[in-house]
Structure formats: C-alpha cells, structure tokens
Amino acid sequence: MTKIGILGVGKYLPENVLTNADLEKMLDTTDEWIVTRTGIKERRIAAENEATSDMAVKAAKLALKNAKLEPEDIDLIIVATITPDMFFPSTACVVQQKLGARKVPAFDISVACSGYVYGLTLADSLIKTGGYKRALVIAAEKLSAVTDWEERSTCVLFGDGAGAAVLGPVEEGGILGAALGADGSKGDLLQLPAGGSRMPASIKTVENKLHTIKMEGNVLFKHAVKIMADAALAVTEPLGLKGDDIDLIIPHQANIRILKALAKRMGVDPEKKLYLNIEKYGNMSAASSAVAFTEAVESGRIKKGDIILIDAFGGGLTWGALIIKW
C-alpha cells in the first residue's frame, strides 16, 4: 500500500504575548503559581479582528511552501478546531476560499485537543482509500475568544495559534499507525455549555458566562496521564515498538506535570524524548501538538528516519496517538 507522510509543515502564532506578569495585574494569581502548577510562562493572544481561519490560512500557506506545493495541488482540507469562525460555514470552507484552493472537500472536526491527531489519521485514511492524493490538515484555535478572563483557574492556561501539515504519498517513512478514542461519559469535565441547540444564546447565557470554557481541571488531570499513556500503548504495541524505539514524543501541551508523569509512565527520559513548548504558548487545544510538531521539524529536533509519537487528549473526552517515521 502507498505510504502517506507529511510533505510540509507550517505554524502561525499571533504577535501579542500575554505574560504571567500581565495576568498578575488582571487577576489574583502569581507567576510562581502558574509556572509551578502548569509550566506556562506566557501565551499568544490573537488580535480582536483575527479569527481562527486567518491563523489557519497563515499556517497553511507556510506548510504548502515547505511542501513546494500550491493551493490547487490540494485535494482535501480538514480543519481541527473548537473555536471555528462561526457555526457554519465550516472554517475549512472559509480556509478553502481564502487560500484559493480548488472546490475540494473541506470540513471541520471538533475533538478539542486531539484534533491534530484525528485530522492526520483521517487524512491518511482518506488518501489511502478515498482517491485523494494530497490533504491539508490544519489545527487552529482562538481560545482567547471563549475564555472567561475573570476565572483564574482556566484563563491562565490557554493561548491562540495554528499549525498545519500537507500530507501525501512518500517514498520512505510516513504514518505507521494511529489509535483514536473517545469517552462521552466524561464530557462534563470540559465544555463550553451555551450557544448550541441545548442552550441557545440568550441574555442569561451571556450574563452567566456560559459561552466560555468550563473545566474541572483537577479531575481531568487525573484522567489525562492514564489516557495519554494508554493511547501511546494502543498505537505502539501493534507496531512492536517500545518506549526506547521512540525518538521523540510530541504531546498535547496541557500541563508540564501531566507530561512529565506521562514520560515516567512510558519509561522515557523527559529531557531527551519529550518535546515541550508549553512555557511559550500555553494550551492551544488542537493547535498545541500541531505547533509543537512543526517547531520540532523546523528546529531540526526531528531527523530523517526518526520515529515520532504524537499523543493528545482533550475535551469530549477524546484522545489520539499516532506514529510517524520521518
């Protein structure tokens, strides 16, 4: 069967940096609390007139450039986001138009922080079975638009950004396997309650800040390590891979303590095998692992022949782990 791999990657981070010192002026919090509990020092915040599709398009253009391809070479567009420009049309359709791509299938997926892994997996399958040749997968989020800036337990965590990848046939390496999952019974742990058909927007929903992210952080924390470790096993075991065989883990950047615990559970040295950028960007949901993967490629941390594990979990709950040989 044809091998499908990544032909090019790109990322976009908004210019505006919001530091922990800035947050200290806005809320009852400290740099010390945020750094010790989360590992985050600063995050990027999109401009008011900058929507998710604007960031997505910037990341996508760089991914196309790196792949030495033009928008018309793309046969499929998938955008992973929980902060679409609007309910519909999908952000993927907006991106298609802004890029000047052909009238190819374009759709969003809503799986929170697991979006990049779900998107890559879907694109891999659709290229293998659906007659498409090259796909553009973008993970983009403007979480600042759905953050309650008076709620210190959540607003210090999130940031905005976008990462993109162009997928297509490769001679060597490529995606070796993926494992996806979801557990809807724990959906209440992380949600944005209002604005949908269950609780349409009203003056009351706005007054009660129900259009912002609600999270039971400490309960989620306990599930996160096990979920990410189990997802890693679900993808590595069938491929006969052990912790030592993985050259680099690109985890969803939710919390430094979760990631160090994951490394311990997998029996790998976090200093050597874990790619971390949470310090600079916070949690950008689906965009986190996309930006981290892109940075690792751009900085040369990922080398030809390396075995990479991308491992994510998020609201839904959802999770996904994917192995790619570079």
| Window contacting ligand ACO (CB under 6 A); options: 55-63, 70-78, 150-158, 203-211 | 150-158
Phi, then psi, of 178 in degrees rounded to 5: -150, 155
Owner of token pair 């965590």: 157
CA distance 321 to 229: 9
Supply the minimum distance, in Å, between the C-beta of residue 175 and ligand ACO: 23
CA distance 155 to 27: 10
Residue nearest to ligand ACO (CB): 217
- Contact in structure between 29 and 84 (CB atoms under 8 Å): no
Among 8, 9, 10, 38, binds ligand ACO (CB under 6 A): 38
| Window contacting ligand ACO (CB under 6 A); options: 32-40, 47-55, 70-78, 236-244 | 32-40
CA distance 140 to 163: 6
152 binds ligand ACO (CB under 6 A): yes
Partners of 180 in the β-ladder: 320
Tell me whether residue 120 or residue 254 sits nearer to ligand ACO (CB atom).
Answer: 254
Query: Which entry of 20, 93, 155, 252 is annotated as an active-site residue?
Result: 252
Is 255 an active-site residue? no
Tell me whether residue 28 or residue 171 sits nearer to ligand ACO (CB atom).
Answer: 28
Tell me whether residue 319 or residue 326 sits nearer to ligand ACO (CB atom).
Answer: 319
What single letter denotes the amino acid at residue 126?
A: L
Strands 248-251, 307-314: parallel, antiparallel or unpaired by DSSP?
A: parallel
Is 113 an active-site residue? yes
Among 3, 17, 31, 33, binds ligand ACO (CB under 6 A): 33
Mask: binding to ligand ACO, 110-129, rule CB under 6 A, as x and -? --xx----------------
57 binds ligand ACO (CB under 6 A): no
256 binds ligand ACO (CB under 6 A): no
Owner of token pair 């638009």: 145
Residues 6+ apart with CB under 8 A from 219: 189
Tell me whether residue 38 or residue 144 sits nearer to ligand ACO (CB atom).
Answer: 38
- Exposed (0-12), middle (13-18) or buried (19+): which is 2, by Cβ within 10 Å? exposed
Catalytically active residues, by annotation: 113, 252, 283
